[in-house]
Structure 1
Amino acid sequence: MSVEARPEAVRGTAPQERLYSACDYYDAESLLTDGERHVLGRLRSFLDEQAQPLLADYWERGEFPEQLAQPLIDLDLMEPAELTGAPGSRPARGIYQGFRIFELARTDASLATWYTAQAGLFRTAIRVGASAEQQAEWMPKVIDFSLKGVFSLTEPESGSDIAGGLSTAARRVRDSGGDYWVLDGAKRWIGGAATADVLAVFARDVADHQVKAFLVDRQAEGVTLEKIHGKTSLRMMQNAHITLDGVRVPEAMRLHNVNSFRDVAAMLRAMRSDVAWIATGISAGAFEAALRYVTQRQQFGRPLGSFQLVQEKLARMLGNVTSSLSLVVRLTEQQDRGIYRDQDSALAKMQASLLMRETVALAREVVGGNGITLASDVARFHADAEAVYSYEGTHEINALIIGRALTGESAFTR
């Protein structure tokens, strides 16, 4: 059955009103409620009308369009009242949260990364790492962005080997000054740190050598932030190198449920699915940009989209998007049922990122020379995909997580 002939999947919604008619060939959108689609439509309007006109300029300048931040927050996307009722009564469904990421990423990878730094990484740090009392105090502020935070795990010399290589040190002190911790070390590639209120910093306790987590005031004495320059990917996202020199953090600001790297791994398990959605959204955005271009561009007196080789590439791109969307939707359904396995999120992130890399390359091919200019949008997706391919677990790390689950043997170096 064709998309056009498919019965209406959402009551009261005509097929031509679907948000993702071009890139969602098997209609995963039908899993959304009318209310969820309405919120996503509101986000779509904001992105098309306010964000899209700024993206090329700010990407080239290597700056984040700060004027978009508060309006994006004001859209009330994290736990929309119209979907969840009274604050805290019930969470927004996972499928809605996934499509929220998808919608942001199909517009721009930096916007998606900026939003999920709060809605995904930082929120997960609080949800998994904080005690019940801490969650009661902090989570409402996380949801409405009155407490903005970032996830500070990666270090200058440790990325994939962070489990064993984490070197930022935490030393507990009890004296007349109170009960507090002193942090020394450095973090790198921390997106959004310069505008955060707190940094969720992971450090190794010198007493028991276990990893602990702390909410560090960004403006605390001993905290230094430096913008990372010279990036060729995610240029709008402001990544920071953070130095911690004798930074004092009260015991009350330690995340009390983080007492080893196992607890950090539980966070990563949940967050990798967000990155798989970002990769899928980038694929969709690149495909849609390429499709627009080839239907408008004329070559040899004919639309570029009428050539066989172009259509073959379009078909491959659509197949990649469809495969990735099927992966992340199924993963999200599993997680909504409480099934969280390292190998599941690793598989989705690994495969969606692989397909993303091929999709953005194909999109650049069909757009030709104009594919390296920002005017077509394809160039942004092509460059930004490289960062997403690596963060939240490289291809190799995720493959080894899957291989360990398949064979029962760990191939990680010791």
Structure 2
Amino acid sequence: MSTQPLPTTAVIDHPDFFDLDSSLTEDERALRDKVRAFGQQQVEPIINEWWEKAEFPTPLIPGLAELGIIGTFIPGYGCPGLSRKGAGMVAREMGRIDGSVNTFLGVHSNLCMGSIYMLGNEEQRQRWLPPMSRLEKTGAFALTEPDHGSDSVSLETSARRDGEHWILNGHKRWIGNGHAADVVVIYARDEADAQVKAFVLEKNEDGTYPEGYRPEVITGKFGKRAILQADIVIEGLRIPEENRLEQCESFAGVNRVLKATRGGASWEALGHGMAAFEIASRYALEREQFGGPLAGYQLVQEKLATMLSDLTTMQLMCNRMAEMAEADTLTAAQASLVKMTTSRKALAMCREARDMLGGNGMLLERHIGRHLTDMEVISTYEGTDSMQALIVGREITGISAFTRSRR
């Protein structure tokens, strides 16, 4: 066992052991560096304050708008039309800094704006997407319900045609930015044909919501505290026919949006894993214990080697997933395997890093606590770890085990 100080060059500042980022295009590399610099210089210095008081860091909005990343994969309308790998870079680099800000971007850019782009008509795209690309208006995506999380296909919120309006009734929960968004895409089941339709709710000119839309911020969260989710009661909410996204005639429309945004959580998990490895490796070199740096002990080096192995696995999977998504060959089961693997490994890495920091790992100033609790959240949303395993299991066996057996 060596207790000699190790050279600081042993630290991998930007852990990419197989040099996968060398395959990035010049534009993708510039995008990576731009988002990384913004995260390090603008987000990291302030995020703990906002995280601790459970408020979204609104001062960041102008800077986020200037990055040119809003709308990610959408071409035109002021959006950048990023490749799948480019969109992954945004989630990875922001996840390395903070998951709450990344969730805000995912909800606004991918889910809400993606719904309007893929399911709306040209007039609707022109009406909403340009101001949203400039973050003059923010968005939300209201799909999840209190009794239907992963089982979103069973949603119960209803919509009834009444002349040139639709009347919506129901309950949504865990809706990111649903308490403050200027534009909210609400999915509801048409009473006439039992099919799922999509509707766009807009705030009134005075900044209030129309009667019948009652959001309440969910409090008491221990993870992703700097992005707020809403519990929303919808009663007699009237939405004009012109605000119905006409290319959504069934749950297949929802699936189009989810397929296009599939993989975002995996890229973010990769970002958290990269952060955990960086924090742990640097601390191991800085921390003196029992007469030498932690990094000089065999047990610590074994932990770091395992973390780097897991991190490299995650990087390889995410890069391959992006290639397949770009070629439109990525299957749901393949995406589930990536989500399951990256969530499990990144969560384990964050726990390991927190343990290596000892008591210091409990302090927000060390940042690992945010990454750890954010990973607990990622393991739940966009399909829980168990749901991902069941999707993969069905692919392996040909047997669906989603419903409990009946005797």
TM-score (norm. length: structure 2): 0.90
User: Would you say 1:53 and 2:42 are equivalent positions?
Assistant: no
Which residue of 156, 173, 185 maps to 2:162? Answer: 173
Name the CA distance, whole Å, in 2 between partners of 1:319 and 1:89. 36
1:352 to 323, 337, 342: 342
Task: Map residues 12-411 of structure 1 onto 2, 5 A cutoff.
Answer: 22-78=14-70, 91-164=81-154, 166-174=155-163, 179-218=164-203, 219-411=209-401
Mapped to 2, the partners of 1:198 and 1:136 lie a distance apart of 14
Question: 1:214–1:254: 8 Å Cα contact kept in structure 2?
Answer: yes
Deviates more, 1:85-94 or 1:39-48: 85-94
The percent of aligned pairs where both chains have the same amino acid is 38
Whole-angstrom CA distance in 2 between matches of 1:54 and 1:132: 39
- Find the residue that maps to 2:35 and give its secondary structure: helix
Q: Which runs of 5+ in 2 are unaligned?
A: 1-8, 204-208
3-state DSSP of counterpart to 1:193: coil
Query: Given that residues 69 and 79 in structure 2 are in contact (C-alpha distance below 8 angstroms), is that contact kept between their aligned partners in structure 1?
Result: no
Stretch moving more, 70-79 or 284-293: 70-79
Relative to structure 1, the CA distance from residue 402 to residue 135 in structure 2 (aligned partners, 3 Å threshold; closer, same or farther) is farther
Q: Is the 8 A contact 2:273 2:349 kept in 1?
A: yes
8 Å CA contact retained: 1:200, 1:213: yes
- Map Cα deviations across residues 146-165 of structure 1 (whole Å, 9 max, x no partner): 4421111111121122212x
Change (3 A) 1:68 1:147: closer
Q: CA deviation at 1:221?
A: 1.7
Could you tell which deviates more after superposition, 69-78 or 109-118? 69-78
SS of structure 2 residue aligned to 1:344:
helix
The secondary structure found in structure 2 opposite 1:294 is: helix
User: In the superposition, relative to structure 1, how do residues 113 and 293 fare at CA in structure 2: closer, same or farther (>3 Å)?
Assistant: same
- The worse-fitting range, judged by mean Cα deviation, of 207-216 and 136-145 is 136-145
Shift of 1:195: 3.0
Query: Which structure's relative contact order is higher, taking Cα pairs within 8 Å and 6+ residues apart?
Result: 2
- 1:66-89 superposed Cα distances (whole Å, 9 cap, x missing partner): 111221112212369xx9998679
Cα distance between partner residues in 2 of 1:410 and 1:258: 27
Aligned pair in 2 of structure 1 residues 406, 137: CA closer, same or farther (>3 Å)?
farther
1:9 maps to none
Does the aligned pair in 1 maintain the 2:61–2:135 contact within 8 Å? no
| Equivalent pair of 1:293/1:376 in contact (CA under 8 Å) | no
Q: Which amino acid aligns with 2:171?
A: A
Alpha-carbon distance between aligned partners in 1 of 2:85 and 2:185, rounded to the nearest angstrom: 26
> Which deviates more, 322-331 or 190-199?
190-199
Cα separation, 2, equivalents of 1:248 and 1:79:
28
The answer as to whether partners of 2:77 and 2:129 remain within 8 angstroms in 1 is no
Equivalent AA in structure 2 for residue 201 of structure 1 = I
- Of residues 254-263 and 136-145 in structure 1, the stretch that sits farther from structure 2 once superposed is 136-145
Aligned residues: 389
Q: Which runs of 4+ in 1 moved over 4 A?
A: 83-90
Report the CA distance between 1:233 and its aligned residue: 0.8
Which one-letter code corresponds to 2:52 in the other structure?
E
Q: Given the two structures, how large is their TM-score scaled by the length of structure 1? A: 0.88
Unaligned runs of 5+ in 1: 1-15
Give the whole-Å Cα distance in 1 for the aligned partners of 2:336 and 2:162.
38
**1:41–1:367: structure 2 CA closer, same or farther, 3 Å change rule?**
same
Q: Specify the code of the residue in structure 2 equivalent to 1:148.
A: T
Q: CA deviation at 1:194?
A: 2.9
Whole-angstrom CA distance in 2 between matches of 1:224 and 1:33: 45
Q: 1:21 to 1:33 in 2, by over 3 A?
A: farther
Question: C-alpha displacement at 1:63, in angstroms?
Answer: 1.4
Q: Residues 60 and 147 (structure 1 numbering): CA distance in 2 closer, same or farther, change over 3 Å?
A: closer
**How far is the alpha carbon of 1:65 from its aligned partner?**
1.4
